[in-house]
Amino acid sequence: MGKKAIKMVNNADDMELVACYNPQINNLNPASYGLNKNVKIFNKLTEIDMKIDVWIDFSTPSAVFENTKYAIEHDIHPVIGTSGMSEEQTEQLQKLADTKSLGGIIASNFGLSAVLMMKFAQVAAQYFSESEIIEKHHADKIDAPSGTALNTARLIYQARGKDQAQPNNEDPMQTRGGDYHGIKIHALRLPGFVADEEVIFGGTGETLTISQSTTDRESFMTGVKLAIYKIVKLNYLVIGLEQII
């Protein structure tokens, strides 16, 4: 995802890549990574000492909170595509951004098909009282459930305004999946997938399935670019790309 973001910035006429940060590297020569000699390479947050407008983050769940906090504290607009932060951490970052009147975004997914799927699911949730989520990702994805699945469940819950009723099932092997306010989430981690999700709504005598499939991570860059243009004009931190499209 980092490579995709670099390519997107370099191909944009009105953007300039000024720096990259990776705490796991020792070589700070931009040429070693095929980058322009004017691009600064950092491996310590405390050594970043230059003017930066936007911080694009596709890192890891263990690092993203401190990265985003650093960006906001230094008046850099954060565009965060890393999932795994808790609701408490997200709320803390929102409050910090408010004190700075700084625009930014934390999005579980920058793919337009995934974001529209979430919006459609939120509409359907007003008419169906029961639903489950199945999300499928590549085997190397660290967190489960995915941020997209969790945000989808959150939007469904918000649309209903109450917990989903639970059937009285026995499940000694815990096959019913995770639980978010009664909404079951099933996470698959297998080679062959990039990122797929489906939401299944059940009603009397009918079901409704809303699904999306990502076959190339390049698709996420459309949403990232759209988000950058939007959030530099805002004075608060947005949670979810669906809030600005």
| Confidence check: pLDDT of 167 > 90 | no
Which CATH number is 58's domain given? 3.40.50.720
Active site residue 141: yes
Q: What per-residue confidence (pLDDT) applies to 83?
A: 81
Residues recorded for the chain: 245
Same domain, 120 and 203: yes
| Confidence check: pLDDT of 168 > 90 | no
| Confidence check: pLDDT of 236 > 90 | yes
Q: Does 198 fall in a domain?
A: yes
Active site residue 137: yes
Same domain, 129 and 68: no
Same domain, 56 and 10: yes
Same domain, 104 and 23: yes
Peptide bond into 145 cis (omega under 30): yes
Q: What per-residue confidence (pLDDT) applies to 152?
A: 94
**Predicted confidence band at 171 (pLDDT cuts at 50, 70, 90)?**
confident
Q: What per-residue confidence (pLDDT) applies to 60?
A: 87
| Confidence check: pLDDT of 108 > 90 | no
Question: Where in the sequence is the domain holding 154, given as residue range(s)?
Answer: 112-165+175-217
Which CATH number is 208's domain given? 3.30.360.10
Percent of the chain with pLDDT over 70: 100
Q: What per-residue confidence (pLDDT) applies to 219?
A: 84
Same domain, 63 and 97: yes
Higher-pLDDT residue of 49 and 93 is 93
| Confidence check: pLDDT of 242 > 90 | no
Measured distance CA(156)–CA(106) in Å, rounded: 19
Q: What per-residue confidence (pLDDT) applies to 23?
A: 94
Same domain, 119 and 212: yes
Q: What per-residue confidence (pLDDT) applies to 227?
A: 95
Measured distance CA(142)–CA(64) in Å, rounded: 13
Same domain, 196 and 76: no
Q: Does 159 fall in a domain?
A: yes
Question: Exactly one of 77, 136, 137, 225 is catalytic; which is it?
Answer: 137
Measured distance CA(121)–CA(201) in Å, rounded: 9
**Predicted confidence band at 149 (pLDDT cuts at 50, 70, 90)?**
very high
Q: Which phi and psi (to 5°) does residue 62 adopt?
A: -75, -20
| Confidence check: pLDDT of 183 > 90 | yes
The overall average pLDDT reported for the chain is 93
Same domain, 209 and 224: no
Q: Does 91 fall in a domain?
A: yes
Same domain, 79 and 129: no
Q: Does 229 fall in a domain?
A: yes
Question: Exactly one of 119, 141, 186, 230 is catalytic; which is it?
Answer: 141
How many domains in the chain?
A: 2
Same domain, 103 and 147: no
Measured distance CA(220)–CA(113) in Å, rounded: 10
Same domain, 12 and 29: yes
Q: Does 170 fall in a domain?
A: no
Same domain, 121 and 43: no
Highest mean pLDDT among 5-9, 45-49, 205-209: 205-209
Q: Does 138 fall in a domain?
A: yes
Q: What per-residue confidence (pLDDT) applies to 232?
A: 95
Q: Does 94 fall in a domain?
A: yes
| Confidence check: pLDDT of 82 > 90 | no
